[in-house]
Each structure stands twice: as C-alpha cells, then as structure tokens.
Structure 1
C-alpha cells in the first residue's frame, strides 16, 4: 500500500461536482483562467469530451483523498494542427489545503512519464502567472524553462496580470536502435 494519502486516477464526468468544489476556492481559480461560480454541467460536459478514445492523447488526472477531488492536472493537445502533434499543453490546480504537500510533484511525475514514455511528446508547454512563484519552482524542477512573458495577459480580481510562457523539451527523445537479434540469417 502507498504511503501517500491520495489516489491519482483519470478524471471522469462524475467528478464534475468535485471540480466545482475545488474551483470555488478563490486561491485556486484566481491562479487559473477560471471564473468564480463554477458550473457543474459545464464541468460534466468538459470532462465527457475528454473521455478516452483511440484517437485522443489527452490525459486529465485527478487526485482523490477519501472520495474528494483535491487536485487535477492534465496534458492536452494544443489544437488540430498536424504540425504540432508533438506538443501538449499542461494545466494544474491543487486545492489550498493540499498545496505544498507533494501532490503537485506526484501529478507532474505522472504527466511527464505519460508524455515521455507513452506518447513520445517532444514539447510540453504551459502558462503560469508571473506572481505564482511556487508553481514556477515546481515546473523548473521538471525541466521547464522560461520562454517569454505575456504582459497584461488576463484580468484577475480587477487587475491585469502578466503570464509567463514555460516549456520543457523531452530530455531523451525516443530513438530506434536496430537489433539483429532473432532475425533470420541473410542469404
């Protein structure tokens, strides 16, 4: 049995009420592009659209503690452009009582393993508010680097705030090494 109090698993439409509870926290939604007064039906539809199919590389994880959603993080395609199939976008939210307790690290480890070892993603990118130093430190720990600043990016609590663009390139992109083991002899 794990010594962590949380379980990481794929998000599902039935988690909508848990997302609403987490997104009602001003300290959570203010760090995201979410708005106050989240809607369960909107979350249900969003989570249903992310359901696993053979063609959807998206991974949206939740951390659950005693049946309650306390965090979420996901890798999402950047759009329909075929020339950007090698890129995923990352987003994360952690409920206030669970911040600083290793949950962000656990979610990042799971997402980076999925991106690196199962999808072969070359680039993972994200946006983070310039004043969210704790999140920036977490992302740097996983190899993300600052690529730029977007001035007056979003309105938050009546003030325009800057956002930083960060990205991480796969540290050891997949390669193929030819093996002659088990091949029939050449004539």
Structure 2
C-alpha cells in the first residue's frame, strides 16, 4: 500500500504565523541546529516580518494551519553582491525527513531563480547536521569551506560548512 504524504502548504510568513514561528524556534532541538537564541519572545518575530522589504522573502510550511517549518531568503543589498542571497531554515523535529525542507527550499529557489534573478544562493550549516547537508546537496548546493569554531552550541564550539548553489554554472 502506498504511503500517504501529509499535505504541506507553503505561504509567505505573516502576522498569523508569529506564535507558531516563535514556538518552532523555541523548541530546544530546533534551537540547537540554528543560530537563534532560546526563549525568544513573539515580539522578536513580529519585528522580523519586514513587510516593506522586497529583498527578504520569509516562508512558512504549514500542516492543517500549524507552522511546521520556516525559511528566510535575503537578497544582499550591496550592489556588488546583489546577484547573491542567503538562506536559513528550520523544520519542526516531528516533521524532519518528511519533505518539509524540500518543499520550503524548492519554493525559495523558485523565487530566487525566477523572480529575484539570483545567481548565487549561500548558506551555512553545522558540519555535523548530515540530514540538512544532504538536503542542500540534493538541491545543488556545494561545500565551499569550513568555518572552525564558528558558533557555540550546548556550551561547545562547533564548526559550520559554507555552502552555495550557483545557477547556470556548468558541472565540474
């Protein structure tokens, strides 16, 4: 019998998602894989809505109206970096490995390629987050470097990888 995939809906982050986003990033298992601080207030996420900045696209993944993932894509404002953007995302632990990250990343890269005309999309990921690294590779991201002792997590210094996806670049 084929496995039923739950319906995942992607939409732009708005005021109705603020509490769900706050809950997502306040989950300790999520917090330890992103650069957000624990115990954030909803007001922090309300301020991040930035409705007048078209260089920032913030998406949420929803299942039955509940926030299960978030992705932010920011196009750099400096003129010599305007061909590039940065992406960061989080997926609720119970939803990891179920297509949420793929749905968010596919939607963001569609915007990056077809609406923002970005040539380069960059990200950093903890070097031990093999699931996320595998997802990024699936979408054409390649490792460009290692940042040693990049961030503190659980009281320990951890390394991150710098990864990027270049659109229309011939394969090596």
| Alignment TM-score, normalising by the size of structure 1 | 0.84
Does residue 152 of the first structure (1) align with residue 110 of the second (2)? no
Quote how far apart the aligned CAs of 1:172 are: 6.5
Secondary structure of the residue aligned to 1:119 is coil
Matching residue of 1:110: 107
**CA–CA distance in structure 1, aligned partners of residues 163 and 142 of structure 2:** 5
Gaps of 5+ in 1: 174-187
CA RMSD of aligned residues (A): 1.6
Does residue 163 of the first structure (1) align with residue 165 of the second (2)? no
Detail structure 1 runs of 4+ shifted over 4 Å in the superposition. Answer: none
Secondary structure of the residue aligned to 1:70 is strand
Mapped contact 2:6–2:63 kept (Cα < 8 A):
no
Superposed counterparts of 1:87-102, under 5 Å: 87-102=84-99
Matching residue of 1:62: 60
Mapped contact 1:145–1:167 kept (Cα < 8 A):
yes
**CA–CA distance in structure 2, aligned partners of residues 64 and 30 of structure 1:** 22
Matching residue of 2:46: 44
Q: Over residues 141-187 of structure 1, what are the superposed CA-to-partner deviations in whole Å (9 max), with x where a residue is unaligned? A: 111000001110001110000011000101379xxxxxxxxxxxxxx
| Alignment TM-score, normalising by the size of structure 2 | 0.91
Mapped contact 1:13–1:43 kept (Cα < 8 A):
no
Superposed counterparts of 1:100-139, under 5 Å: 100-139=97-136
Mapped contact 1:154–1:162 kept (Cα < 8 A):
yes
- Total equivalences in the alignment: 166
**CA–CA distance in structure 2, aligned partners of residues 119 and 77 of structure 1:** 8
Secondary structure of the residue aligned to 1:105 is helix
